[in-house]
Amino acid sequence: MRVLVTGKQGQLAKQLQLDASSAITLQALDRAQCDIRDATDVLAAVTDFSPDVVINAAAYTAVDQAESDAEQAYAINALGAENIARACLATNARLIHVSTDFVFNGQHAQPYQPSDAIDPLGVYGDSKADGEHRVQALMPAAIILRTAWVYSCHGSNFMKTMLRLMAERDDLGVVADQIGTPTSTPTLARAIFALIDNTQAQGIYHCTDAGQGSWYDFAAAIYQQAQALGLLPANKSVTIRPITTTEYPLPAQRPAYSVLDHSRLHADTGLMMRDWRAVLAEELDKLLAEMAQTLKDS
């Protein structure tokens, strides 16, 4: 099995490289090696490696910056997705295209199904929705995997930002009226490899960890678990305050509710999603181990 991954520097691509089994020959490419905005570049990269599966993990994810940089957001998230789909068609490769909960408007009161109508609120979500449409139009058998609130030990993400801020400050206000589900990259990578194993899988799937919470809940859990593990100084006390979205205005509007239903993923792969708090504890433990190893090697 030969698998090509775009977005090599991203946290998901790094996890896929770590978790790929010995039965998979995986090659990850960064923008210098494969600029997905360039159709010729993409076709050359895919043709050269001749993969069985392409995982498009490259994306423009700067949600607020996208509002003033729409051209680049659409070039990567929409046109880039189309370029990859065309290359997969030309080389007879399967495609797994990673998308986002931001394609929804957040007005639901129950978890979103893959079949629910999309209605993005801003440039980032709209560019990802455009990418989904382009992939589906070219490759109806492609897999579109929506996820949300992705974090890991690798790269920049909410978990690592919170840990840094908790070490620097004594008081943090975190938005409590946006509800979703944190998703670790190991969970997401496991789902992707399971979908690869199911050669009949196609269409839209949702993947997050189980349960739901607000960004405030996520931050509070990070603080509690980090203290227990010793990731924060023992005498460091941080007050974490719930605030509203209006108290923390940003250029891009976020969905107020974006919990994703992943029952179709379970039905087609057998995967059981675990509660996000338990998964968070494992990721923080990994981070602690990595820090200890870094100190040992220095």
Which CATH number do you get for residue 126? 3.40.50.720
251 falls within a domain: no
Task: Please tell me the distance from the alpha carbon of residue 286 to that of residue 291, in angstroms, as a whole number.
Answer: 9
Active site residue 124: yes
Residue 221 has a pLDDT of 97
Q: Which two tokens stand for residue 54?
A: 């392409």
Q: What is the pLDDT of residues 191-232, one digit of tens each?
A: 999 999 999 999 999 999 999 999 999 999 999 999 999 888
pLDDT in tens, 152-189: 988 889 999 999 999 999 999 999 999 999 999 999 99
Query: Which spans in 92-142 are helix H?
Result: 123-138
Q: Residue 171: inside a domain, yes or no?
A: no
Is the predicted pLDDT of residue 80 greater than 90, yes or no?
yes
Span 267-293, average pLDDT: 91
What angle, rounded to 10 degrees, do the helices at 215-229 and 276-297 form? 50
Catalytic residue among 124, 151, 205, 257: 124
172 in any annotated domain: no
Range of the structural domain that residue 56 is part of: 2-156+181-210+257-275
Residue type, 136: Q
Query: Does residue 233 have a pLDDT over 90?
Result: no
In a domain, 70, yes or no: yes
Q: Which amino acid is at 265?
A: L
pTM: 0.94
* Residue 56 falls inside a structural domain: yes
Beta strands in 94-187 (DSSP E): 94-100, 143-147, 150-151, 171-175, 179-180, 183-184
**Number of domains forming the structure of the chain:** 1
Place of tokens 């968070």: 280
